[in-house]
């Protein structure tokens, strides 16, 4: 396999990385991180690559892709590794009759990535029933309790700018209330149908580009602000905002990361000029 980042991201942007290492176990991941640290090598931790805009010029460092995906259920407790696809966690919880994760159905990416950005949908966030997170702090492995993860709207201690700690998520433990398996599975299927109307399967996009805006009156949907400034249908080269939702950007297959970044900047400027609100991206930039 070549080292092109476009093969690892939903957007399908990205040139070559210096090296790509896929860590399929916790032991392999820790050994890789220790080796990179010893060599003082530049590296980037990657999960599912679902919300990444990777530079088409590539990344002058090593990509460490977390793929460890173990899962264990004991009564109301679920222990899973960071590389487990979120959909598998949701399906496992539903099948076991454990509720509160069913509304996360259809969200792409891994459990580690979901915790990193405190993913959520339909009034629920992944952090709500998360008991603790297993991390590697650069020297040793330890468990961090929920309260120490500083979860907020689409952020955590792992992602918050300024307060970010050099912790790598290895695994997570959830404690979930009981529910009816059939009812939970039905709820997830309904949510997936709704999501697929907005995000068609195979669409080269990262889901919502911007976070909703937190205000005293509640959350202001970024999509409404973007729609009001004429975002729908806007296009730069091979990337565009689709007609069905203003808070999406899609790559038509010939788009460039720089085009996506430029379109994002224009959208932010227009919203700020009209409302004085600075939109914040949910997407992350790699190699810029």
Q: DSSP letter for 80, please.
A: E
**155 is a catalytic site residue:** no
Helix (H/G/I), strand (E/B), else coil: 270: helix
**24 is a catalytic site residue:** no
Helix (H/G/I), strand (E/B), else coil: 116: helix
**282 is a catalytic site residue:** yes
Buried b or exposed e, range 34-48, using 16+ CB within 10 angstroms: eebeeeeeebbbbbb
Answer for the pair 36, 62: CB distance below 8 angstroms, yes or no: yes
Please tell me which residue in 125, 188, 208, 270 is annotated as part of the active site. Answer: 208
Please tell me which residue in 26, 155, 259, 282 is annotated as part of the active site. Answer: 282
Among 79, 87, 24, 20, CA closest to 50: 87
Among 95, 128, 124, CA closest to 107: 124
Please tell me which residue in 81, 154, 159, 270 is annotated as part of the active site. Answer: 154
CA dihedral over 109, 112, 115, 117, signed as positive or negative: negative
Residue 123 CA to its chain's centroid (Å): 17
**Active site members:** 154, 208, 282
């Amino acid at each position: 396999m070549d080292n092109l980042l476009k093969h690892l991201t939903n957007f399908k942007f990205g040139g070559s990385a210096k090296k790509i290492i896929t860590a399929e176990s916790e032991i392999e991941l820790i050994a890789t991180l220790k080796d990179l640290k010893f060599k003082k090598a530049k590296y980037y931790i990657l999960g599912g690559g679902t919300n990444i805009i990777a530079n088409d010029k590539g990344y002058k460092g090593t990509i460490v892709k977390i793929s460890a995906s173990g899962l264990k259920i004991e009564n109301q407790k679920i222990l899973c590794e960071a590389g487990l696809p979120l959909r598998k966690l949701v399906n496992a919880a539903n099948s076991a009759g454990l509720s509160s994760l069913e509304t996360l159905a259809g969200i792409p990416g891994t459990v580690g990535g979901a915790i990193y950005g405190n993913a959520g949908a339909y009034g629920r966030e992944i952090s709500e029933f998360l008991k603790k997170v297993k991390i590697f702090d650069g020297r040793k492995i330890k468990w961090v309790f929920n309260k120490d993860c500083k979860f907020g709207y689409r952020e955590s201690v792992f992602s918050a700018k300024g307060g970010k700690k050099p912790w790598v998520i290895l695994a997570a433990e959830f404690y979930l209330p009981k529910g009816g398996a059939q009812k939970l599975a039905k709820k997830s299927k309904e949510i997936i149908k709704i999501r697929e109307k907005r995000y068609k399967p195979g669409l080269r996009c990262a889901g919502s580009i911007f976070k909703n805006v937190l205000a005293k009156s509640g959350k202001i949907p970024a999509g409404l602000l973007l729609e009001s400034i004429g975002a729908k249908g806007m296009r730069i080269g091979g990337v565009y905002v689709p007609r069905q939702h203003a808070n999406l950007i899609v790559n038509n297959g010939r788009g460039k990361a720089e085009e996506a970044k430029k379109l994002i900047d224009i959208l932010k400027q227009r919203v700020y000029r009209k409302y004085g609100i600075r939109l914040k991206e949910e997407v992350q930039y790699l190699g810029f």
